[in-house]
Amino acid sequence: MNAVFYTADAQSWAESLGDIPWPLLPVANRPLLDYWLEACAEQGIEQVQVILGEDSERVEDFARDGARWGLKISYSFARTSEHPLDYLKSIADRWDEGLLFIGAPFFLRHRKAFTPAGFETLDACLHEHDGQIQFLFGKSGAEVKALLAGEPGSRTGLEQIHIHPFTIDSTAAYFDLNMKMVAGEFPRYVTAGFLDSDHSSIGYNVLTLPSAQLRAPILVGNDCRFAAMTTIGPKAVIGDHVIVDSRSELENCLILQDTYIGQNLEIKNKIVSGNRLVNPEDGTSIEIDDSWLVARNRPDMRTEDLVRYIVLWFLGFGVALAQLVPFCILYPVVRAVRIGKYFDEKFHDPRTGYTALPVFRKLKNRRSVAYSLFRALTLDRFPWLLLALRGRLFVCGQPPMRHPEDDEIIHQLKQYYPAVFSYADYCKESDRLTDSLWYAHIRSLFEDVKILIKSLLYRFFRAGR
Amino acid sequence: MIVTCSKEQGIGIVEVSHALTAATVDSFREQLSKWQEAEDDVLNYVIDLKHVDFMDSAGLGTMIAMLKRISEKGGDMKIACLQKKPRMVFEITRAYKVFEIFDTVEEALKAFE
């Protein structure tokens, strides 16, 4: 059997949700296309053709060659003059082994009794919405040709195998589907690794501070960071890379990926997609981008980044200049008493993949005035500062990630600023991934100066400990 | 940003012509202050937001500051004709709990009676 997914038609309702192509819009934190491909894998379908329209790159980038699902995916572009039905008819001979066609934002909503094996008993069927074929299924060439010729197929269609055909034709329908998923349906789509006893699921690396309240049912994606006093749920779907600031309450809402929620907000019955706030009832959307309200996480701030880089370079130059003489005096002493030395260690580099950085390590576990002074004056970072002045590191930013131990962290960071100083220098409880994500969102000149001053002071007062 | 101020039944009606954002709040404040100086007997205000299709935290902050100033003088302030998009900002910031919001200017004026 072959599968064809027609994603070329634009969906006006999806435009209010931002720039995510509709096949990638998440349903309970998973792209819609993911469910379709998973259904193919469950049915033993190997060949999938995805017909692309606008934003094809992002769809292609997500599904790639289909190896993740054990499928072989090929791509083609829709001709504007050709109706998808005409296209299927024009190459009808290819469907001799059967066809599964989805041609719209169509969700195969599982009822409790559904099992993937049910498809074996499914009669040839076709589902239409507003005169458009959304779903077509035939196990043989004859069945497919009959359906394409206009025969109605099974009366009960997908319902006979306990699938409720759900057409997403508005923001309200999209929101409703997500809320139904979080209210209890999503475990029907997720098998291994999740416990659904209380209808809650929280992804990896989600940092929640003690006073935050997370009330089921909720779905929380990866790399989220909730500050203190945050109340989340019930019925909240939080996508990946979302930051919720302190004292915000989220209830009956859908937060899509890369969203920053400001302080002390109350978000109920809303969709938030980056800097967009959407009322699902009528699709009204408002673009805010205001860190006091809602904003796009990880904003692209090239000019600000450049200004920040230049100012920090001069500050770094000042620190390096102040350290030059003490380093020239103390490093020979440290080497002479054999208390510490530099070792080259591999770290990830945003440009070259990886690079070796000199890391100062204590050789002997004994007290040493020279070592304490060396550390107190942050002289162990002097070679890194020189590298920062040569443009190979940032002065302030994220801690350099080790290669290959930190591959997973690097994979999750969209923006990597390996730096001489980071939160880890003065915050003992620092978690490198969440802090790195946080820095990427909040980075500013003020934040960098704060990191620099706090790191230098903390190291000075905690020297040698 | 054009702020049109008028007086009806001793109540100041402030009509705002544009989105109320960080870029426009200064002009809003300045124009309103001038009118308030000239009409210092006006205590109560209705803010007509029918032409305001967007409001950010700066705009909202200005509204709250204005309410505070008016309340300190013993007056009151009501909001009329709040549009869909700014309404969402009012909802998520809980500002609807702070302000009295009416669908029309007439309803807001009646509420002062």
pLDDT in tens, A235-293: 888 888 888 877 788 889 999 888 888 888 889 999 998 889 999 998 888 888 787 88
Distance of alpha carbon A437 from alpha carbon A441, whole angstroms: 6
Residue numbers in B near A171 (CB within 8 A) = none
- Residues contacting residue A344 through CB under 8 Å, at least 6 positions apart: A356, A357, A358, A359
pLDDT of residue A172: 93
For residues A435-448, average pLDDT: 82
- Comparison of pLDDT for A216 and A452, the residue scoring more: A452
Our CA-based measurement puts residue A29 at a distance from the nearest CA of chain B, in whole angstroms, of 23
Alpha helix locations (H) across A66-220? Answer: 84-90, 141-148, 171-180
pLDDT of residue A228: 65
By the 8 A CB rule, do A317 and A389 touch? yes
Q: Say yes or no to pLDDT of A392 above 50.
A: yes
- Comparison of pLDDT for A436 and A398, the residue scoring more: A398
Which of A72, A67, A24, A26 is closest to A45 using CA atoms?
Answer: A72
Could you give the domains of chain B? 3-110 (3.30.750.24)
Best of A265, A270, A290 to substitute, by most chain B Cβ atoms within 10 angstroms, is A290
A46-60, A87-101, A177-191, A204-218, range with the lowest pLDDT: A204-218
pLDDT of residue A188: 79
Q: Which residues of A, range 259-318, sit inside 8 Å of B by Cβ?
A: 262, 264-268, 270, 277, 279, 282, 284, 286, 288, 290, 292-294
Distance of alpha carbon A157 from alpha carbon A307, whole angstroms: 61
pLDDT of residue A163: 93
pLDDT in tens, A38-60: 899 888 898 999 999 876 888 99
Strand extents, DSSP E, A331-452: 340-349, 353-362, 394-396, 419-421
Our CA-based measurement puts residue A293 at a distance from the nearest CA of chain B, in whole angstroms, of 7
Distance of alpha carbon A76 from alpha carbon A50, whole angstroms: 6
Give the pTM: 0.68
Q: Say yes or no to pLDDT of A197 above 80.
A: no
Size of the A and B interface in Cβ pairs below 8 Å: 41
* pLDDT band per the 50, 70, 90 thresholds, residue A317: very high
pLDDT of residue A200: 65
Tokens of A77: 């572009």
Residue numbers in B near A267 (CB within 8 A) = 92
Tell me the pLDDT of chain A averaged across its residues. Answer: 85
Residue numbers in B near A279 (CB within 8 A) = 84, 88
Distance of alpha carbon A313 from alpha carbon A328, whole angstroms: 22
- The secondary element (H helix, E strand) that includes residue A137 is strand A132-138
ipTM value greater than 0.85:
no
pLDDT in tens, B40-93: 889 999 999 999 998 888 899 999 999 999 999 899 999 999 999 999 999 999
Residue numbers in A near B96 (CB within 8 A) = none
Find the closest chain A residue to B57 by CA distance: A292
For residues A74-101, average pLDDT: 86
pLDDT of residue A192: 41
A204-218, A340-354, B5-19, B63-77, range with the lowest pLDDT: A204-218
Best of B64, B83, B92, B94 to substitute, by most chain A Cβ atoms within 10 angstroms, is B92
By the 8 A CB rule, do A459 and A417 touch? no
Find the closest chain A residue to B92 by CA distance: A266
pLDDT of residue A400: 93
A198 CB neighbour count, 10 Å cutoff: 10
Q: Facing residues of A96 across strands? A: none
For residues A165-192, average pLDDT: 84
Could you give the domains of chain A? 2-169 (3.90.550.10), 194-296 (2.160.10.10), 303-464 (no CATH)
Amino acid type, A191: T
Contacts 24+ apart (CB under 8 A), A199-202: A200/A233
* pLDDT band per the 50, 70, 90 thresholds, residue A194: very low
Best of A288, A289, A291, A294 to substitute, by most chain B Cβ atoms within 10 angstroms, is A288
